[in-house]
Amino acid sequence: MHDFSPNRRRFIKNSAGAAASISILSSLSQTAFASIPTAPKIRFSVININHPHIYGMVDAVTRGGGQLISFYAKEADLAADFAKKYPNAKPAPNQKTILEDNSIQLVLSSGIPLERAPLGIEVMKHGKDYLVDKPGIITLEQLADVRRVQKETNRKYIIMYSERLENKATIKAGELVKAGAIGNVVQTIGLGPHRMNPASRPEWFFDKKYYGGIITDIGSHQFDQFLFFTGSSMAEIVCSQTGNVHYPQYPAFEDFGDATIKGNQGTGYIRVDWFTPEALNTWGDGRLTILGTDGYIEIRKNIDIASNHKGGNHLYLVNQKETKYMDCNNITLPFGELFVNDIINRTETAMTQEHCFLATELALLAQKNAQKLDIKK
C-alpha cells in the first residue's frame, strides 16, 4: 500500500377495537407515514477514500436502500472528513475488520487507482460485492485477475461510471434513445475536459503508474457511454493518442488523450483533457453528442455556456418532429436502487458485468496502444 500525504486534505475537500384503529389510522397524515423508518435492504461499508467520488457513491447506494455501517481509511484526515459527513458510520481499525464482517454485503472504494483492483479481489474472495470508483482497473493484467476471481466467486465487481450513472441529462438521453426519439444510434462523441488545480492534487495524481494514464482514468466514462448508447457488445480501437503537452514539470503525467472506436452497433470518438480554464464556473464542460438516423441529442452535463441556463443537466433534442431543450434537473437517478436490488436478487439491471469489464478493457487497450503526442511550441 502506498501512503501519499501532500495536499491530500484539500483534494478530498467536496412509517380498543377495529373502529378505533381505523379512526386512528385515517387521522395519520402522509407525512407521518413517511417518517416511519424502513429496514435497510443491504448493509455496506467503505474501504479507502482517496477520491471524493466516494461521497456520491455512498449517497447513491443509500438512496437505493443501503445502510452504511462502517468505513476504513488509513489517512486520519480523510477518515475525519468522512466521519463528519456520515456520523452514524463506525470507523473500523483496519480493512480486515470489514472484510471479515459477514453482515456486510457490499464494499465501496475510491482508493488510489493502483490499489482498487487488488482490494476488489479480496472483497470478492470474502463473499462480498464491490462498487469501485473509476478507474476500477488500471492494467490489462489486473483486468485478467479480476475477471478470473469474479467468475470463481460470482460476486459483483461494478465500476461507478458516474458521468452516465450520476448525470440526470444522460439518464434522460437513455430514455429518449430507448423510445426511438432519434432512430438508430450511429455514433457517440464524448468530451471529458477536467480542471487541473495542481496545488490541490495528491502526489499519486501526477504519476500514471498509479492512475493508469488519462484514457484509462477519465476516458473510461466515455467508453461506458459509447457502449451504452450504441448498444455495442463488441468493439475495437481504431486509433488513439496521449500526451503531456503543457506540464513538463510532471513528466509522468498525461494531460490530453483521444480515441476512435468501432463497435458492432456504432462508432465513437472520445476526447479527454486537463485544460479547463479557471474562468469556467465548473470543473469541466462535459458534453455528449448522440447521433441517430432520425436526429441527434446533445448533452451539456455541467454547464451551458451557449445560453442563460443555469447549472448542469441540459439536453437538446433535434429530430424529424421538433427541436427541443430539456432541463433535466428533476430526473430521478435510478442506479442506486437498481444496483441494490441486483445485489439482493443476483440480477443485472443496473449494469451487466460484461458491460462493465468491456468498457474498461477498451479504455485499457486505447491507453496501451496510444501513439505519443509530441507537441512543442
Whole-number Å distance between alpha carbons of 21 and 41: 29
250 within 8 A of 225, measured Cβ to Cβ: no
**What pLDDT sits at residue 1?**
47
What secondary structure does DSSP assign to 103-168, as a single string?
T--EEEE---HHHHHHHHHHHHHTT-EEEEESSS--SHHHHHHHHHHHHHH---EEEE-HHHHT-H
Summarize the confidence of residues 323-345 as an average pLDDT: 98
**What pLDDT sits at residue 39?**
85
Give the rounded percent of residues in the chain with a pLDDT score beyond 90.
Answer: 87
Whole-number Å distance between alpha carbons of 227 and 174: 12
**What pLDDT sits at residue 32?**
43
Phi and psi based region of residue 311 (left: phi greater than 0; alpha: psi -120 to 50; beta: remaining) = left
Give the rounded percent of residues in the chain with a pLDDT score beyond 70.
Answer: 90
Provide the angle, in degrees to the nearest 10, between the axes of the packed helices 353-368 and 219-230: 130
Q: For residues 324 and 5, which has the higher predicted lDDT (pLDDT)?
A: 324
pLDDT per residue as tens digits for the range 19-35: 333 333 344 344 444 44
pLDDT confidence of 301, banded at 50, 70, 90? very high
Whole-number Å distance between alpha carbons of 132 and 143: 14
* Among candidate residues 210, 250, 202, the one with its CA nearest the CA of residue 7: 202
Burial degree of 147 (CB within 10 A; 0-12, 13-18, 19+): middle
**Cis status of the peptide bond prior to 113, with omega within 30 of 0:** no
Coil, strand, or helix at residue 364?
helix
Phi and psi based region of residue 173 (left: phi greater than 0; alpha: psi -120 to 50; beta: remaining) = alpha
Domains of the chain are 8-160 (3.40.50.720), 164-372 (3.30.360.10)
Cell matching residue 61: 447506494
**What pLDDT sits at residue 28?**
39
The CA R_g of the chain, rounded to the nearest whole Å, is 22
Query: Taking the CB of residue 309, how many other CB atoms lie within 10 A of it?
Result: 14
Half-sphere exposure of residue 262: CA atoms within 13 angstroms, side-chain side: 4
343 within 8 A of 106, measured Cβ to Cβ: yes
pLDDT per residue as tens digits for the range 200-253: 899 999 999 999 999 999 999 999 999 999 999 999 999 999 999 999 999 999
The values of phi and psi at residue 170, to 5°, are -70, -35
CA 155 to chain centre: 19
Whole-number Å distance between alpha carbons of 293 and 303: 27
**What pLDDT sits at residue 25?**
35
What are residue 237's DSSP bridge partners?
Answer: 261
**What pLDDT sits at residue 235?**
98
Lowest mean pLDDT among 35-44, 82-91, 96-105, 118-127: 35-44
Summarize the confidence of residues 70-81 as an average pLDDT: 96
**What pLDDT sits at residue 362?**
98
* DSSP state letter for 239: E
pLDDT at 142 over 60: yes
Whole-number Å distance between alpha carbons of 217 and 53: 13
Average pLDDT over all residues of the chain: 91
- SS3 string, 276-321, reads CCCCCCCCCCCEEEEEECCEEEEEECCCCCCCCCCCCCEEEEEECC
* Among candidate residues 209, 214, 217, the one with its CA nearest the CA of residue 273: 214
* pTM, two decimal places: 0.89
Whole-number Å distance between alpha carbons of 341 and 64: 8
Summarize the confidence of residues 155-163 as an average pLDDT: 97
CA 138 to chain centre: 15
Half-sphere exposure of residue 140: CA atoms within 13 angstroms, side-chain side: 9
pLDDT confidence of 377, banded at 50, 70, 90? low
pLDDT at 370 over 90: yes
pLDDT confidence of 376, banded at 50, 70, 90? confident
